[in-house]
Amino acid sequence: MKRALVLYCHPRETSFNHGIKDLVIERLEKAGVEYRLRDLYAEGFDPVLSAHEHEIYENVPENRVMVDRDCADLEWCDSLIFVYPTWWYGLPAMLKGWLDRTMVAGVAFIMPQQDGDDIKPGLTHITKLGVFTTCGASRWLTLFVGAPGKRTLMRGLRVILAKRCKTAFAAHFLMDSSTPESRAKHLARVQKRLDRLIAVPTPKEG
């Protein structure tokens, strides 16, 4: 891991997620990893995909004009790290909107060249993916519902990254009844899994 893009999404600076984000930055700095932090709420990112953006979504390179900074960040990094709360089993609207607007054709994926073809991955230079979240629901209830937030990133996004992309995931369940001990345990889990992700050799394509 040399260049990490950290996507942080929570509206409150006093949140536990804010502490997770601080830990992620601390570990990256300790490991000498260059990083860019995107604090979507602090930046006032607009998550709404407009009618115009939807109309030009497949028009390369016009489709990236409104989100050029985000596209440049995606092209710059070799690792993606997400820190966010799971709400209603899924991604916060702000984070889902970031995906909707920035994962455009020509950047995130390559459009089919002929009828019947599928899209092709566009972010194959990204070889590591970390996802760290909190959930109000229990583990069993989240899994019963299908864990749509986790699946969106760890499967949906993962499929357009490097073929052998390394991943790390950690979730603190039952956040509404969490304790200082459970939160400390989760931070230790995040640190261990992130450190391992940073240290693991970059997978080679072939």
Task: Report pLDDT digits (tens) over 113-143.
Answer: 778 788 899 999 999 999 999 999 999 999 9
Is 80 exceeded by the pLDDT of residue 6? yes
- Domain range list for the chain: 3-198
Q: What is the mean pLDDT of the chain?
A: 95
The predicted structure's pLDDT at residue 119 = 82
d(CA 171, CA 190): 9
d(CA 23, CA 1): 17
User: 3-198, which class in CATH?
Assistant: alpha beta
